[in-house]
Amino acid sequence: MKKKYAYNKWQILLSIICLFYAIGVTMGILFADKIPFQALLQYKPFAYSEALNSLFYFAKFLIPIWIVGISSIGIFFIIPWCSICGCFYGVAIAPIIATENPHLLFLNLIQFFLFTSALFLFSIGAINLSLNKYKNYKNPKTSLNREKKRIITEYLIILCSGTLLIIIAAFINTYI
């Protein structure tokens, strides 16, 4: 008899990453609450005029996930890194919420949505690759060459789609 609610690995990974990211966002907003309001309004983490600078700003959060995802120990570093990224997001979103310009708020929320989506894609892909590497490390006879190629291709597709989201977010940042 089939289980009524069978969860696959992707759903479990996404829920764990979302949980730690939400904890980080909450910590960031609570930290930003302790900062004086005028100092908070002067904090503009995405105040770059060029798309390339904005792209580098977003990439510094996602490149460590790329690098760590290749190793089998990346499982232990990606989830705390998502929590740290969530904390930075919470601090960064606080002055945007405090502004009274709805156009600016809308563009920033779209930008942060794209960044968060890319972060989740990168994290899930990297954890999946790390889990497969760990599984192959424990039992090397279980991995076939075509399976390895499929896993790497899947990882590269996820990274390319996440990079596309980051590029779109960087171009939105030039209009803010």
* 110-136 pLDDT, tens digit each: 888 888 888 888 888 888 888 887 776
In a domain, 170, yes or no: yes
pLDDT of the residue at 8: 76
In a domain, 147, yes or no: yes
pLDDT of the residue at 5: 56
In a domain, 42, yes or no: yes
The Cα 124–Cα 10 span in angstroms is 7
Mean pLDDT (the chain, rounded)? 77
Contacts of 116 (CB under 8 A, 6+ apart): 21, 89
In a domain, 51, yes or no: yes
Q: How confident is the model at residue 97 (pLDDT cuts 50, 70, 90)?
A: confident
Q: Are residues 93 and 158 in contact, defined by beta-carbon separation less than 8 angstroms?
A: no
Whether the pLDDT of residue 50 is over 50: the answer is: yes
In a domain, 16, yes or no: yes
Q: Which domain holds residue 52?
A: 9-174
In a domain, 1, yes or no: no
- Overall number of domains in the chain: 1
In a domain, 92, yes or no: yes
The Cα 75–Cα 68 span in angstroms is 8
The Cα 165–Cα 69 span in angstroms is 19
In a domain, 4, yes or no: no
Q: How confident is the model at residue 48 (pLDDT cuts 50, 70, 90)?
A: very low
